[in-house]
Amino acid sequence: MAEYKSSREDFLDLDEDPSTPAAASVEQLDSQVAQAQERLLALKRQAELLEREKAKLEELSRRQEQFDTGRAEMVDKFTGSLVQIQRETDETLKRLEVLKNIQSTFSTYLQELEAINPKEWEAGDLTKELSKAIGAVEDARSVYTKASAQIAVEPLASSPVAEGESSEGGQSFSYWLMAGLAFTLPLVVIGLLALILLFLSLNPA
């Protein structure tokens, strides 16, 4: 009976001893679970950090692509525009030079025509002076017609194409020819009338 009691006491002492292997295993398990949870939290935080870094890199990549595309587009546009502007500038300067020359020519012929004064002609030189005057008017008409046609070759792009204009824009050559005649014909008529009146005044019936 005493032997049975001794065995039972040993059994009870084994279960209640906190230093037994079973108790130690439970503590290790709890510790491992806690460590695993900490590692999971750390991994989760690291994953969130990596996700944010990934989002930043993707945004940077998108903006870099946007910059490259935009720059290439604007460089191409500016390059093409500068070439076009240079071409138009050169053409404008050439046209300006042409207009200046025409302006100078018109001024010269206008002065020559205005300088003709039939009242100063001698009666004996009337036929000669009249021929010279008519020749000057014809020269002026020819110059005016050619210059007017030259002006109409490259009209301003903003000018509307009106009825009777050439297909390239601006007035046709026939238009400027008729306009030249319309401008100079009155001068010829007035000059002839003046000559006739002068002739009649110098040679009364």
Average pLDDT score over the chain: 75
Is pTM, for the whole model, over 0.75?
Answer: no
Residue 64 sits in the same domain as residue 17: yes
pLDDT confidence band for 77 (50 / 70 / 90): very high
Of the three residues 37, 63, 94, the one that is the final residue of a domain is: 94
Residues 113 and 191 sit within 8 Å (Cβ to Cβ): no
Residue 123 sits in the same domain as residue 190: yes
In terms of C-beta density within 10 A (0-12 exposed, 13-18 middle, 19 or more buried), how is residue 116 classed? middle
CA distance readout (Å), 91 to 103, 146, 152, 190: 18, 20, 14, 40
Is residue 108 assigned to a domain? Answer: no
Calculate mean pLDDT across residues 161-189: 53
Calculate mean pLDDT across residues 124-147: 88
Q: What is the pLDDT of residue 181?
A: 55
Residue 61 sits in the same domain as residue 127: no
CA distance readout (Å), 66 to 7, 145, 179: 85, 58, 58
